[in-house]
Copies of this chain bind each other. A is one copy, B any other.
Amino acid sequence: MSAPVAKVAREGAEGGSRRLILDTAARLLRSGGYHQTTLREIAEAVGIRKASLYYHFASKEEIVEEVVNDGVRFVHEAVVAALAEHAAASPHARLEAAIRAHLTALHGHGDYTSASIKVFTFGAMPVPDSVRQVRRAYGEVWRGLIAELQQAGAIAPERSPEALRLFLLGALNGSTDWYRPGRFDIAELAQEFAALIAQAG
């Protein structure tokens, strides 16, 4: 992964202001969405003036784009890592691990991931190409996993893998709407969801 490395290098050179701005933007985007979140709010929360943001970023779009892509990449990497850890497990166990990783990344780790969902679910903003690519790459992970499950017989051969993938991701991302830390347990939710769409084994 070369991007994170480059990013860390850049941060070292400029004292992390850029990261601070992105962190703050992520938090505000998560609760407010694209249009409600203003540069004034971000600047205020960071503790600088609105105009100073333009030293670090060329536009609001650029800030949002970076937050959103970071969020999707974070979920992507978490799911890939979970699948690698469960490489030897049963297909059903791998599915459950992937779902658990997705939900954990979405709800347990920072604002970037939730902000991603909130901002680019629906076309609330003109979706940049980079975002489209990052999303597509993540979609491929699930396409592969579902194909694997179907080949292993954990999903019936007559089920449409594409419909299944869209339903599943929709349901997982929709959890930003109703999930609350105290009221649900992510591991249990993952178990429930996995049981819905694949046979145990």
Contacts and interface: CB of A to CB of B under 8 A. Distances in A.
Contacts of A192: 159-160, 163-164, 167
A173 B170 contact: yes
Contacts of A2: none
A42 to B, nearest CB: 16
A14 interface: no
Contact of A166 (B35, B163, B167, B178): B178
Contacts of A197: 196
Nearest to A120: B177
A189 interface: yes
**Chain multiplicity (copies):** 2
Given A159-B196, A160-B192, A167-B193, A177 B124 contact: no
A181 to B, nearest CB: 15
A168 B35 CA distance: 28
A36 B169 contact: no
Q: By DSSP majority rule, is chain A's interface helix, strand, loop, or mixed? A: helix
Interface in A24-39: 31-36
Contacts of A108: none
A104 interface: no
> Which among A32, A121, A174, A197 has the greatest number of chain B C-beta atoms within 10 A?
A174
A176 interface: yes
Interface string A37-75: 000000000000000000000000000000000000000
